[in-house]
Chains A and B, each alone.
Chain A
């Protein structure tokens, strides 16, 4: 009977914003099992929504998660528009697309920065978050807020964009291409990053399908699923773009998918800004008849699915919210097994867990032995130390790719 130790990660640590608590079972230096329990962030939003009117709900659900703040309200209003069989004006579809792609852009850049920090590349962290700021600025110009946009309503959008704003959006996105290419090259060309990310935390395509993995977590394992292409919504079937996948299922693949999706997002935003049709932005929906609807959108982390049931009154009877991380987090059982402890931090981060969406935490399980606990900060430090060792061995300057 081999000795198993339990390493508790969490509940609080400086760089991963939400409170979550994983339990890793380790034999020696190798992970043999993972348990995750959730409930720190459970705020009872589905129940709260049953006491709100249909048009109040978007304001509640955009606070389900700060980084998917545009995706949740859009999925909800699409579900209700399905019930009411509303035809959303074309201009509103384009406006929705712009905000959602800007969100994808800033979310992926945020992830690249966090990943850089976990690996000890703090300049990547500073770079990525510095170049993310112009995106936050244009979101503020377009919607009035950096983080909670309140742009969707049932039947359209609440706020229009002027031609100057659209031109500014196009200009800022164009200027982002250079820094993004720099970041992408820094990841793709760096042999130490290859050593840290390739063949680490592999999620096989079979496991990804079995767990219902979504978004870059699934596309990084080669599964070509993307709601924007498969069940098009907003203006995604009216603009030209590609779905990005990567084979291999390792952290490197997921990083590549996220970086390349930034370029696709810029492509989509520029087309929408250029081809913005004139017209109304709101179908002015008066009543929601009885019925049921499903709305799903491709949030930065994967498919967000909302189900709404209405009975003809002005409040939803039931509103189910399923965020992408709910399906992605259980894949740790498949991707963390067999990992060495210094690789845990980056593997956990590779799924880009949006804990708020999924209300994460961890179950405390009895341990047979009492071992000193590693906090997540310790795991991040172990990961950074591993990179330092590899860099010393490769005699490269730290970090490669130019000055910040």
Chain B
């Protein structure tokens, strides 16, 4: 176990899920890859499949349609993993909370399939890339302790 978490410390693989987001947060997540913020210097990369991911970056309100797919993706993600709920929508559905098409909140939807899920919250609308990097670093520190 110690070997695995040591390995995790060195490089985090992030899988990004859009659960009904307006795209602001998603663009800022992608911005992390680009030269200004360059998340790869921390060893973090965006991967194409949840099965390889250590971090599930979730944006969006979690609409009714997205909810079962989000849960499915969470189940497929290799454990241990940290869910980063990015943006006001992922925290508490933001200004869309009254909308008729809303599913459960992101953390409720994930805890419905895994009550022990580790969820980190990154507030903002949208959070600046610096905030997301700070969250990712905290996630790394957290995974170290597991």
Decide if A and B are genuine partners. Answer: yes
Please report A residues at the B interface, Cβ cutoff 8 Å: 11-15, 17-19, 39-45, 47-48, 51, 59-60, 63-67, 69, 110, 113, 125-126, 129-130, 132-133, 146-148, 354-356, 361, 375, 377, 404
Residue contact A67 to B23, C-beta cutoff 8 Å? yes
B34 / chain A contacts, CB cutoff of 8 Å:
113, 125-126, 129-130, 132-133
User: How far apart sit A15 and B34, CA to CA, in the bound complex (Å)?
Assistant: 13
Residue contact A147 to B27, C-beta cutoff 8 Å? yes
Residue contact B126 to A44, C-beta cutoff 8 Å? no
**Residue among A41, A354, A375 with max Cβ neighbours from chain B (10 Å):** A41
A17 / chain B contacts, CB cutoff of 8 Å:
16, 18, 21, 23, 26-27, 29-30
21 contacts between A and B (CB under 8 A): A14-B15, A14-B16, A17-B21, A39-B65, A40-B66, A41-B18, A44-B101, A59-B95, A63-B94, A63-B96, A64-B22, A66-B22, A66-B23, A66-B24, A125-B34, A126-B34, A133-B31, A146-B126, A148-B24, A375-B49, A377-B48
**A contact face: mostly helix, strand, loop, or mixed:** loop
Instruction: Knowing A12-B73, A42-B65 are in contact, say whether A66-B126 is a contact too (CB < 8 A).
Output: yes
Q: Which residue of A lies closest to B15 (CB)?
A: A14
Interface string of B109-134 (1 = CB under 8 A from A): 00000000000000001101000000
User: How far apart sit A43 and B36, CA to CA, in the bound complex (Å)?
Assistant: 32
Closest beta carbon of chain A to B7's beta carbon, Å: 22
Q: Which residue of A lies closest to B66 (CB)?
A: A40
Residue B82 interfacial (CB < 8 Å):
no
Residue contact B95 to A148, C-beta cutoff 8 Å? no
Residue contact B23 to A19, C-beta cutoff 8 Å? no
Residue contact A63 to B48, C-beta cutoff 8 Å? no
Instruction: Knowing A12-B69, A63-B24, A66-B25 are in contact, say whether A47-B100 is a contact too (CB < 8 A).
Output: yes
Closest beta carbon of chain A to B16's beta carbon, Å: 6
Residue contact A69 to B95, C-beta cutoff 8 Å? no
Closest beta carbon of chain A to B18's beta carbon, Å: 5
Residue B19 interfacial (CB < 8 Å):
yes
Residue B17 interfacial (CB < 8 Å):
yes
Residue B104 interfacial (CB < 8 Å):
no
Instruction: Knowing A14-B48, A19-B66, A129-B31 are in contact, say whether A65-B22 is a contact too (CB < 8 A).
Output: yes
- How many pairs, one residue from A and one from B, have CB atoms within 8 Å of each other in the complex? 134
Residue contact B63 to A45, C-beta cutoff 8 Å? no
Residue B47 interfacial (CB < 8 Å):
yes
B128 / chain A contacts, CB cutoff of 8 Å:
146
Closest beta carbon of chain A to B98's beta carbon, Å: 6
User: How far apart sit A256 and B63, CA to CA, in the bound complex (Å)?
Assistant: 36
Q: Which residue of A lies closest to B31 (CB)?
A: A129
Determine which of A48, A146, A354, A375 lies in contact with B95 in the assembled complex, contact meaning CB atoms within 8 Å.
A48
Which 10 interchain pairs have the tightest Cβ spacing?
A: A66-B24, A17-B26, A66-B23, A44-B99, A377-B48, A129-B34, A130-B35, A356-B23, A147-B24, A43-B96
In the complex, which residues 30-66 of chain B have their Cβ closer than 8 Å to any Cβ of chain A?
Answer: 30-31, 33-36, 46-50, 60-61, 63, 65-66
Residue contact A126 to B28, C-beta cutoff 8 Å? no
User: How far apart sit A122 and B116, CA to CA, in the bound complex (Å)?
Assistant: 38
Residue contact A19 to B69, C-beta cutoff 8 Å? yes
**Residue among B16, B21, B29 with max Cβ neighbours from chain A (10 Å):** B21
Q: Which residue of B lies closest to A355 (CB)?
A: B23
Residue contact A40 to B36, C-beta cutoff 8 Å? no
Closest beta carbon of chain B to A54's beta carbon, Å: 16
A147 / chain B contacts, CB cutoff of 8 Å:
24, 27-28, 126
B28 / chain A contacts, CB cutoff of 8 Å:
146-147
B73 / chain A contacts, CB cutoff of 8 Å:
12
Determine which of B29, B35, B46 lies in contact with A126 in the assembled complex, contact meaning CB atoms within 8 Å.
B35
Residue contact A41 to B20, C-beta cutoff 8 Å? yes
Determine which of B19, B22, B46 lies in contact with A14 in the assembled complex, contact meaning CB atoms within 8 Å.
B46
User: How far apart sit A108 and B101, CA to CA, in the bound complex (Å)?
Assistant: 31
Determine which of B36, B63, B94 lies in contact with A39 in the assembled complex, contact meaning CB atoms within 8 Å.
B63
Residue contact A43 to B126, C-beta cutoff 8 Å? no
User: How far apart sit A354 and B35, CA to CA, in the bound complex (Å)?
Assistant: 24
Residue B102 interfacial (CB < 8 Å):
yes
In the complex, which residues 77-110 of chain B have their Cβ closer than 8 Å to any Cβ of chain A?
Answer: 94-96, 98-102
Residue contact B61 to A40, C-beta cutoff 8 Å? no
Q: Which residue of B lies closest to A21 (CB)?
A: B69
Closest beta carbon of chain B to A28's beta carbon, Å: 26
Instruction: Knowing A67-B23, A129-B35, A356-B22 are in contact, say whether A15-B30 is a contact too (CB < 8 A).
Output: yes
User: How far apart sit A375 and B100, CA to CA, in the bound complex (Å)?
Assistant: 30
User: How far apart sit A17 and B17, CA to CA, in the bound complex (Å)?
Assistant: 8
Residue contact B98 to A48, C-beta cutoff 8 Å? yes
